[in-house]
Amino acid sequence: MQKIAIPVLDHKLSPHFASSPLFKIFLVENEVIVKESLMQRPSQLSESLPVWLAKVGVTDVITRGIGHGEINLFNQHKINVFVGVIPDNPNDLVQEYINGTLETHDEQIVN
């Protein structure tokens, strides 16, 4: 089972991971989306976003732009990060991920 998080803004993948107030969370089992929910980032987050998402059980993150430090934190929590994804409908992006056709571009990693 996988739990995939996508930062969203205006019902699309947010261009900036760290500033996104909402995350769409998908539960995927046997290559089928079995549940989806919208989670609001806590306003008084006492830890980093990677730590918070790890605590809610996220296994994978699909994002546009993200920093090296956040990627390292995700890696420490054994969360896969897919970077440089073109903003689109989150459901379509997860389906592309499931199908193995999700396009990523590492040049969207920021310092």
Extents of the domains making up the chain: 2-110
- Looking up tokens 């930062």, which residue turns up? 7
**Distances from the Cα of 32 to the Cα of 1, 67, 97, angstroms:** 10, 30, 11
Q: What is the model's pLDDT at position 106? A: 73
Task: Tell me the whole-structure pTM to 2 decimals.
Answer: 0.91
Q: Which CATH architecture has domain 2-110?
A: 2-Layer Sandwich (3.30)
CB atoms within 10 A of CB 76: 11
Q: What is the model's pLDDT at position 107? A: 61
What mean pLDDT is predicted for residues 65-72?
Answer: 87
Do 60 and 97 meet the contact criterion of CB atoms below 8 Å apart?
Answer: yes
What mean pLDDT is predicted for residues 59-87?
Answer: 92
Backbone angles phi, psi at 84, to 5 degrees: 80, 25
Do 42 and 61 meet the contact criterion of CB atoms below 8 Å apart?
Answer: no
Is the pLDDT at 46 greater than 80, yes or no?
no
- Give CA–CA dist 4/92, Å, rounded: 13
- Give CA–CA dist 55/53, Å, rounded: 5
Q: What is the model's pLDDT at position 36? A: 96
pLDDT tens digit sequence for 83-105? 999 989 999 999 999 999 999 98
Nearest to 80 by CA among 66, 101, 95: 66
Task: Read off the pLDDT band of 25 (50, 70, 90).
Answer: very high
